[in-house]
Structure 1
Amino acid sequence: MRMFIKSWIPQCLQILRLPCRSFHGYHRLLTSQIISHYEAIHQYKKELPKYFNFASDVLDEWSQLEKDGRKPANPAFWWVNEEREEVKWSFEELGFLSRKAANVLSEACGLQRGDRVIAVLPRVPEWWLLNVACMRTGIIFVPGTSQLTAKDILYRLQASKAKCIITSDTLAPAVESVVPDSQFLKSKLIVGKGSRDGWLNLKELVAVASAEHKCVQTRSQDPMLIYFTSGTTGFPKMVVQSHSSYGIGLVSGGRRWMNLTPSDIMWNTSDTGWAKAAWGSVFAPWICGSCVFVHHMPQFKPEVIAETLSRYPITTFCTAPTAYRMLVQHDLSRYKIMSLKHCISAGEPLNPEMMAKWKSQTGVDIHEGYGQTETVTICANMKGMKIKPGSLGKALPPFDVQIIDDHGAVLPAGEEGSIAVRIQPTRPFCLFSEYLDNPEKTAATVRGNFYVTGDRGIMDEEGYVWFVGRDDDIINSAGYRIGPFEVESALIQHPAVAESAVVSSPDPDRGEVVKAFIVLTPAFASHDPEKLTQELQQHVKKVTAPYKYPRKVEFVQDLPKTVSGKIQRKVLRNREWGRE
């Protein structure tokens, strides 16, 4: 039962549902005006439009195609939880509810175009609704993970000057504790049941709000999103993305990397606070007319992932490398996963060994992609392309991705340098606009004719890019430069290693040496630590260059990770160097 829809849409509303008509194949759909037009813009075959709004120019167009029967009958949005409750919205229903939510933001909250709204929510349907409502009103959406502390929330409120915060009843007390120091905050919206003093209830307001709303006309380069992203030092930076940067910029990734069509159902497990949620759970699927599938799943459970993949007709799956590793250990070959046909990953590199295990258990390859909060997908193992396990793939059109030296000169194949995107003579519109209120950090991303990602890599003779590590992750031991990923890739091939993180550790003779923090598989948990350390060291010497082996090894129960599943090497490195 659509309990969510039932409670929000007045009973008098009867949404028209027309049957899907027959097609002459999917070519007509894939070359529809929506997709082909914006892909042409992305490839510089057409000029960027002066005005663009994803809600009116894409979502409302799919709604019209849906009403005309010129789109497969998949919903636009499909949400489930562990109790097997479901929410399904068509594009028309999404439009109806998002217009009501837009009126709530404008009228009940008193927000205006250009104001900033922080949304700290788990994977609940309201998060998607608010995304679209903000687009319709020109309000800037600022997502945050539900794992934020009161201190984190205060910093974000002060730095962004947000006038409204939207959160769950669980986090409301943390918000209330910092309200006295949040001088810009004007209104607070709560998502959940019941009432709370000083808060507006989103569900109650949407139920009585008007569905009549005219989408504002936003310029393509007007700000749409602000993401807080952590750097190597200092407080998190505010990454500004425009209406076109993600709204049009992700069409190439959606088509070529995610391989999405209007008949696909895409499940991306990313937390709502991570930019990958915007990539794979909003813009790329919806610009391609695909269904966005969401599992509420407060905590990652391999058995829940596996059961969901076997129970629902999910065709496209995206999750973090850490999650893939956990799923492989859970052994997916025990499940009947019938619909899955395309898997992707991003966030950190995938080890070839793990990719091979996933393929053997599911029969599906993992297509790795690469990008940042500041970019869209810039490299990928695209559909139909030869996959080189462990590589980030090739540059995604229209990007010119190169490996450059410290002076901005392009390096020849096989030489390590900075992964960079050419921005001269033309800066791709799908790069971030700026680090808000931080011109120095913004300027620091430019080196000669390139935007530098802060990652180091190598490009081979065929144009495949290979990740080496973050600039600050590189280990310089006795004059040898060692990337942590290559050591981790060697370690993961040993049956004792479930996960590992490699960082630098101080050494009186070499300056620094390689240290590996290792989570053991259950079968090796009781082995003698000293003997196992020697065995792993010899294993690494055989798999990769001997000088890269970890001179120090520490066995741990788990590794520190970000909410998106990335291993936080910085935390471990700081411990080693006494910087905590």
Structure 2
Amino acid sequence: MQSIYSEGSAPACPAPFNLAGYVLAAGAATPGKSALQILRPTGAERWSYDRLIAAVRGAATGFLQAGLAPGDRVLLRLGNTVEFPVAFLGAIAAGLVPVPTSAQLTVPEITAMAAGLEARLIVAGEGVALPEGSAAPVMTEDTLRGFEALPPAPWHMGDPERPAYIIYTSGTSGTSRGVVHAHRAILGRAMMLQGWEGLGPTDRLLHAGAFNWTYTLGTGLMDPWTVGATALIPGAGTSTAQLPLLLKRFDATIFAAAPGVFRQMLREAPNLPLPRLRHGLSAGEKLPAPIRAAWEAATGTEIFEALGMSEISTFISAAPDRPAPDEATGWPQPGRRVAVLNASGAPVPRGSPGTLAVHRADPGLFLGYLDDPAETAARMLGDWFVTGDTVKMAADGAITYLGRADDMMNAGGFRVSPLEVEAAIAAHPDITEVAAVELPVKTGANVIAVFYVASSEVTEAELQEHARTRLARYKEPRIWVQVDALPKNANGKANRRALRDGWTDHNRKTSP
């Protein structure tokens, strides 16, 4: 049997269409209901659907009054504040194309990212790094807040295939690539609601991430709002140790986080009585089995894992009504069509490893890479978008994740290119060779490590400071290893696999 699987059909997208209007339609029917609560141990900032919709549509009016026109790009440089989703949806409501970015990015990083974006406006929070040399005007959060009182703009209706937003992801080239999504992408998320999240209008979903993480923006905000549920987001500065208190005090029924957050919570509180919690959701990186088991023992609830990528978001998952078999991640969500392919683009037999691919007709699939049609075309094999993840499909269609086909690293749920880290470290005048890899430091915990050759003595503290000024915190190496020479492959390139394998073998031999 070939490794092709589909069940049901994807939802059809009406036309004309607006993503923001679709997300907030259920909330418009319950205007007084709580849409968003920003949580702190001392209380919560509450936003009703009525206020949220007014803020979004007021922001759309403000953007248009500022001289922007449908199709213009808006770079979002905002921290963990409610202005982030308001600006994001407000721009989409007006037919603009928002570009959410991490507030952790440094000046060199955001400068390089913004160089080819041609943004017409930058919306920025206080203290967040801005691109150098940009001609785009900067709008402050205070100005954005004032838009809430403006008359509501009508939803900009149009072709569901037109661009709605752009997110950046690191590629194998070592530079961030813009991933352009259409308005119809929200219909791709519709298949997650029951295919992964088990989410309904009475739920209170707490997401542990910051507003500006796309995992939070989708699973933590847009998905609850699409069904008229309540989104709960910890306020800025909330520690992992405070999350159990917030989950209990604010009656969270679903908890979403990256595996590392579950790990830290269990380390600090191995017993977690959460009577209202129905289940947890995990994405961003592989969920280790020991963390899953420990969470179930501590809370009496299950964690349902999902696999995806920036170009399509999550599309393989377990769900409350369909838990994953042992070792498997889950199934293609109902409405998805996926395959496991060999290098020629042909489906492999079920049970055999291959590259995971999703059909081009999926409404959640991106439009393409920004200004890079050649790279977009290179990721297509016939009717299939090739993800680069190595998996195998069981006889029943369950998908088991085996690893990444490239050398991409994963830092706390963020995909990080080794070439990007290497380029930053190589800028140090005493570094002659460098290779970045992801290394296991204990069961279920991986970090970014750098192996380097130096021309003269350089301290780890000096290298750490060098990295801090050039890389976002989540991209900074945690392990530094000086070597006499880097292993090379037949093409003369650094052999990252040999470094990873050598590190694992060394730890195995030296462990007690």
Query: Would you say same fold, with TM above 0.5?
Result: yes
Residues 394 and 309 from structure 1, CA distance in 2 versus in 1: closer, same or farther, beyond 3 angstroms? same
For 1:464-503, list aligned pairs within 5 A.
464-473=398-407, 492=443
Alpha-carbon distance in structure 2 between the residues aligned to 1:224 and 1:216: 11
Q: Check if 1:191 corresponds to 2:141.
A: yes
Alpha-carbon distance in structure 1 between the residues aligned to 2:163 and 2:320: 31
Q: Check if 1:343 corresponds to 2:329.
A: no
For 1:199-218, list aligned pairs within 5 A.
201-203=143-145, 205-206=146-147, 209-218=149-158
CA RMSD, 1 decimal: 3.1
Following TM superposition, by how much is the alpha carbon of 1:119 offset from its aligned partner in structure 2, in angstroms?
0.9
Post-superposition CA distance 1:510-532 (Å, at most 9, x none): 993643769xxxxxxxxxx99x7
8 A contact 1:102–1:137 mirrored in 2: yes
Alpha-carbon distance in structure 1 between the residues aligned to 2:105 and 2:445: 28
Alpha-carbon distance in structure 2 between the residues aligned to 1:98 and 1:501: 38
Q: Check if 1:78 corresponds to 2:37.
A: yes
8 A contact 1:369–1:379 mirrored in 2: yes
Letter in structure 2 aligned against 1:294: I
Letter in structure 1 aligned against 2:192: G
**Partner residue of 2:73?**
116
**Partner residue of 2:211?**
272
Residues 238 and 263 from structure 1, CA distance in 2 versus in 1: closer, same or farther, beyond 3 angstroms? same
**Partner residue of 1:378?**
315
Match 2:174 to one of 230, 234, 244 = 234
The percent identity for this pair of structures is 25
8 A contact 1:349–1:390 mirrored in 2: no
Alpha-carbon distance in structure 1 between the residues aligned to 2:288 and 2:346: 30
**Partner residue of 2:13?**
48
Q: Check if 1:281 corresponds to 2:226.
A: no
Residues 283 and 188 from structure 1, CA distance in 2 versus in 1: closer, same or farther, beyond 3 angstroms? same
TM-score (norm 1): 0.70
Match 1:104 to one of 62, 65, 73 = 62
Residue aligned with 1:225, SS: strand
Alpha-carbon distance in structure 1 between the residues aligned to 2:337 and 2:96: 32
Alpha-carbon distance in structure 2 between the residues aligned to 1:61 and 1:513: 51
Count of residues paired in the alignment: 440
- Mean Cα displacement is larger for which, 452-461 or 497-506? 497-506
Q: Check if 1:261 corresponds to 2:200.
A: yes
Give the unaligned 5+ runs of structure 2.
1-6, 410-436, 452-485
Residues 85 and 160 from structure 1, CA distance in 2 versus in 1: closer, same or farther, beyond 3 angstroms? farther
Residue aligned with 2:243, SS: helix
Q: Check if 1:534 corresponds to 2:509.
A: yes
8 A contact 2:84–2:212 mirrored in 1: no
**Partner residue of 1:512?**
498
Following TM superposition, by how much is the alpha carbon of 1:61 offset from its aligned partner in structure 2, in angstroms?
4.3
Alpha-carbon distance in structure 1 between the residues aligned to 2:401 and 2:379: 18
Residues 358 and 137 from structure 1, CA distance in 2 versus in 1: closer, same or farther, beyond 3 angstroms? same
- Mean Cα displacement is larger for which, 431-440 or 389-398? 389-398
Match 1:166 to one of 109, 123, 138 = 123
Following TM superposition, by how much is the alpha carbon of 1:508 offset from its aligned partner in structure 2, in angstroms?
9.9
**Partner residue of 2:253?**
315
Following TM superposition, by how much is the alpha carbon of 1:501 offset from its aligned partner in structure 2, in angstroms?
7.2
**Partner residue of 2:48?**
90
8 A contact 2:207–2:216 mirrored in 1: yes
Following TM superposition, by how much is the alpha carbon of 1:58 offset from its aligned partner in structure 2, in angstroms?
4.3
8 A contact 2:324–2:398 mirrored in 1: no
Following TM superposition, by how much is the alpha carbon of 1:53 offset from its aligned partner in structure 2, in angstroms?
1.3
Q: Check if 1:449 corresponds to 2:383.
A: yes
Post-superposition CA distance 1:27-59 (Å, at most 9, x none): xxxxxxxxxxxxxxx954764322111333441
TM-score (norm 2): 0.78
Following TM superposition, by how much is the alpha carbon of 1:429 offset from its aligned partner in structure 2, in angstroms?
2.2
Q: Check if 1:141 corresponds to 2:105.
A: no
Residues 215 and 316 from structure 1, CA distance in 2 versus in 1: closer, same or farther, beyond 3 angstroms? same
Alpha-carbon distance in structure 1 between the residues aligned to 2:117 and 2:80: 23
Residue aligned with 1:152, SS: helix
Question: Which protein has the bigger strand share?
Answer: 2
Following TM superposition, by how much is the alpha carbon of 1:161 offset from its aligned partner in structure 2, in angstroms?
0.6
Residues 474 and 409 from structure 1, CA distance in 2 versus in 1: closer, same or farther, beyond 3 angstroms? farther
Residue aligned with 2:188, SS: coil
Alpha-carbon distance in structure 2 between the residues aligned to 1:369 and 1:508: 34
Alpha-carbon distance in structure 2 between the residues aligned to 1:466 and 1:474: 19
Residues 502 and 447 from structure 1, CA distance in 2 versus in 1: closer, same or farther, beyond 3 angstroms? farther
Q: Check if 1:182 corresponds to 2:141.
A: no
